[in-house]
Structure 1
């Protein structure tokens, strides 16, 4: 019998739906701004090297904050950490859309990187906690985690289509390059609108997190453990082989994706003749990649059954992604339909493999950790 006054845990089906929804809402703003981000910055007059530097700031912010904040949700709760991540992303997208100086955009990248680090893990932890509270420690988790991966890929795919098309539609007037609205500290160009729309979606994400993710209350006194938890996170990253492997894998995948996302939009703009039409082409290409990620994530349980374990499935999936990167690299300097088709296949393999690796990597890590 449950104790009086204590709410029963959500059943696995409800937890799976809410986990998929919160994942979708988190990644939808990312999909909205991806097609226009690089093009907007170059339209502001920034060289590609500066844009690459801003991407590096984002990556460093994620790397620096990942370990110290990794156990933060264990102390203060999953829900407040996810809400804080949403607020940081909301602020970052607003500054990205309106900022015109390198310093403002650097702040935006730091905010975005910190939000990404905060969001890394708490939603999955909430799902695992909720399902295990209802069904016990042996509850089946892989399917729900795979659905979360599918939801994130679907959000990115839908967001890129909307975010890539919207600037072109807004720029079809008599003066396509004109600003839509002048505001303090920046100009709202057609390429700025997807980021502002993403900020609005981010506000909805924060509200949903606060309303739809119940968890047991934590005593205020546990806040004293935050500094110690951050220090423990740093020590684990240095000493624990499992954590080191996860971090190195994530760093390698992030570097590969950052390179693709940095170089592809400019090439798309050159092919089409304008930033707005280039955003549409890049949105279509990115959407294909995210659809492949969704397919890979959906097939993660099948990959685990075929290979015999989640760990082997994760390794095989990363090998698929590596093959795709090799195909992209060897065709970079070639022209014609043949190399283009090979490059397209490589692009699909990169995202297909990463989609399947995510849920299997999380499941194998969850299974291995208690034994250590």
Structure 2
């Protein structure tokens, strides 16, 4: 009974942490691209801002993952929330490209710090109470559902706030005049996101308990991180399943770059104004993230129906890639049928991506031990961020139309094909994976 209570408490805390971290990101996401263009940035400059986020996250992924494995999950998560609070403040108030790039870079640093510790904390806690063969997929699925739900609520609210403020006569002009043109309706969601990030830090410090570690000194921390990074870099070379996870993350990064960079402008062009476009895109993103949450919730069922996590990942990537292909074929059409198909493609993309994560990470955690768990998740996030950065910069130079969407869909379908080959048996992989599962 006590064990069940502890496991249920760990699952609830993991769900809350996941929701509180991603809610502010959702708030800032819906008006983000439109806010940057309202500040006078071109699409290429916007892509550079997003690249600053992705490249910073990529550069810090392995060091921060190693830091979490050496120093602990809780302090690293608290640092991530603190950086995000500062970053959202800069995004809400920054009026120059330099400040916006700095804000996106700090947000990338927060993303790097957060990419492994919460999930690693949950898996560590479950395995400490129920053993190394404890069931993980359900908890990971609920964390994924909480993430998607928070993003859905955040994007809906982040899109609605500027639209509602725009309904008040003269409020836009009064906001600009009172703040020296620093605050406009499109920047209010980012300022709300900064406040939520502070709440996240307070919750992490008060709610995430972990086993005491040896007292860390600066020299000990710095000395322990490089070997952990080295282990992380060897993950994909040692184990075929881990290698597929990393390649799949790269394919997802390209797809996310396409959706995040092009969807807001595509929506605004259809409705005719940035504020209304932010509201419509927020509602559309809310539906997309709700589907991602549904996909995460259905991940255990997908694995049972597909007779294994590997086949479930392949099927989910196929669904997600098919969604981007629908967005490609409707990119130059504005009729009602094309719009319905485009919304369907957007939903399918998120549904499939939601089902990928829990099944993929269940496979990953069974190959990697506690001492390298956060590092493994950081390597996975590194692959996604590098692909997103390079993909976003490449996409910004392509002509408007179906080509960028086709590129994202093709990346996901190629990722699905990686899982078509029969996976090696666990017993065959065990000798080569021993160095990963120890520690």
**What's the TM-score, normalizing by structure 1?**
0.92
Query: Which residue pairs with 1:3 in the alignment?
Result: none
User: What is the alpha-carbon root mean square deviation over aligned residues?
Assistant: 2.2
Query: Which residue pairs with 2:422 in the alignment?
Result: none
Secondary structure of 1:334's aligned partner: coil
Deviations 1:91-138 (A, max 9, x none): 111111111111111111111111111111211111111111111112
Structure 2 residue 15 is the aligned partner of structure 1 residue 16: no
Aligned residues: 366
CA distance in 2, matches of 1:183, 1:252: 45
CA distance in 2, matches of 1:27, 1:179: 31
Question: In the superposition, relative to structure 1, how do residues 115 and 124 fare at CA in structure 2: closer, same or farther (>3 Å)?
Answer: same
Deviations 1:170-213 (A, max 9, x none): 22233253252668896011111100101100000001011100
Instruction: Indicate the larger mover: 184-193 or 286-295.
Output: 184-193
Structure 2 residue 135 is the aligned partner of structure 1 residue 121: no
Which of 56, 70, 79 lines up with 1:84 in the alignment? 79
Q: Are the equivalent residues in 1 in contact too, given 2:24–2:154 (CA < 8 A)?
A: yes
Q: Are the equivalent residues in 1 in contact too, given 2:66–2:226 (CA < 8 A)?
A: no
Using the TM superposition, give the Cα deviation of residue 226 of structure 1 relative to its aligned residue in structure 2, in angstroms.
2.3
The 5-angstrom pairing of residues 264-303 of structure 1 reads: 264-303=263-302
The 5-angstrom pairing of residues 201-350 of structure 1 reads: 201-219=196-214, 220-221=216-217, 222-223=220-221, 224-236=223-235, 241-350=240-349
CA distance in 2, matches of 1:251, 1:45: 31
Q: Are the equivalent residues in 2 in contact too, given 1:9–1:133 (CA < 8 A)?
A: no
Query: Which residue pairs with 1:37 in the alignment?
Result: 32
**Structure 1 unaligned spans of 5+:** 1-7
Instruction: Indicate the larger mover: 181-190 or 193-202.
Output: 181-190
Using the TM superposition, give the Cα deviation of residue 244 of structure 1 relative to its aligned residue in structure 2, in angstroms.
4.0
Using the TM superposition, give the Cα deviation of residue 68 of structure 1 relative to its aligned residue in structure 2, in angstroms.
2.9
Secondary structure of 1:178's aligned partner: helix
Using the TM superposition, give the Cα deviation of residue 338 of structure 1 relative to its aligned residue in structure 2, in angstroms.
2.0
Q: Are the equivalent residues in 2 in contact too, given 1:150–1:297 (CA < 8 A)?
A: yes
CA distance in 2, matches of 1:241, 1:186: 53
Question: In the superposition, relative to structure 1, how do residues 195 and 261 fare at CA in structure 2: closer, same or farther (>3 Å)?
Answer: same
Query: Which residue pairs with 1:4 in the alignment?
Result: none
Question: In the superposition, relative to structure 1, how do residues 196 and 69 fare at CA in structure 2: closer, same or farther (>3 Å)?
Answer: same
Using the TM superposition, give the Cα deviation of residue 274 of structure 1 relative to its aligned residue in structure 2, in angstroms.
2.1
